[in-house]
Amino acid sequence: GEGVSTVARQFARMAAVRGRRPAWLVDGDLTQQAQMEQVAAQPDRFGRLGAAVQASPDGSAFYAVTPPMRDREGRPVAPGRLMTAKTCLGGRLYVTRFHNEVLRAGQRAEAINDARYWTRLRAHADTVVIDAPAADRSDMILTLAPLADATVLVVAAETTDAAGPVALRDEIDAQGGRIAGVVMNRAKWKPPALLKRFIG
C-alpha cells in the first residue's frame, strides 16, 4: 500500500483520543520497524513516549520465530518477549516495536494464523490498529486479515490501477477477511466548475 503506515498511525491516534480505553498501534512490519520512531519524531502530535513494557499480556505473539529463540542456557525464549510497547498521548496510545536486531543469522519472524494474541490484547484496548507491510512485500495481510474485525486497504490514488486492489480484496475475502474500505492516498480532488464559482 501507499502510505499505509501514515494512515495507520493517524487512525490509531484518532481512536486513542476518542476511545474510553487505550488504543494500540501494532507495527506488523517485522523486518522494517518504523512506527515508534515516527511517533517519537512528532512529540507535538503524540506527546512523549513512556517507558517500554511487554507488548503481550500473557506471552503470546502474532508471529513465530524460526528457528526458535534460545537464551544463553539453551532454553526456549517465548516469541512474545521480542516485542515491547511504549505509551504516548498521556497513556492513551500504545505503540509496539519488534526487536528484530536480536534475531541471529538464519532466523526469521513470520505472522501466524493464531487468534490468542489478539484476543488477549482486546481485553486491554478499545481499538487495535495493525500496520501490516504492503502486500507486494509480504503476505502478512492474508494471514492476519481473517483474525481482524476489519481490514482497510491503502492504495496510491494516482499510480494504482483498479486490478491490483481488487485482486487483493478478493484474496482477503477468500481467506475469510472483511474489507471495511479503501483509502485512496494522495488523491487530488478537483471541485466541479459550478462549485468552483462559489469557493473561488
Q: Which residues of 43-58 are buried (b: 16+ CB within 10 A; e: fewer)?
A: eeebbeeeeeeebbee
Q: Is residue 169 a contact partner of residue 139, using CB atoms and an 8 Å limit?
A: no
Q: Give the CATH number of the domain where residue 103 resides.
A: 3.40.50
Report pTM: 0.87
pLDDT in tens, 175-198: 999 998 888 776 555 555 554 444
pLDDT at 104 over 80: yes
- For residues 115, 76, 34, 96, the Cα torsion angle rounded to the nearest 10 degrees is 50
Q: Which domain holds residue 17?
A: 4-199
The SS3 call for residue 196 is helix
Number of separate helices (H) and strands (E) present in the chain: 7, 9
pLDDT > 70 in the chain, percent: 90
pLDDT at 159 over 80: no
Mean pLDDT over each residue of the chain, to the nearest integer: 89
pLDDT in tens, 45-58: 999 999 999 999 99
pLDDT in tens, 56-86: 999 999 999 999 999 999 999 999 999 999 9
The per-residue pLDDT for 195 is 46
Domain count, the chain: 1
The C-alpha cell 496510545 sits at 93
Q: Is residue 177 a contact partner of residue 145, using CB atoms and an 8 Å limit?
A: yes
Q: What is the mean pLDDT of residues 138-165?
A: 84
pLDDT at 31 over 50: yes
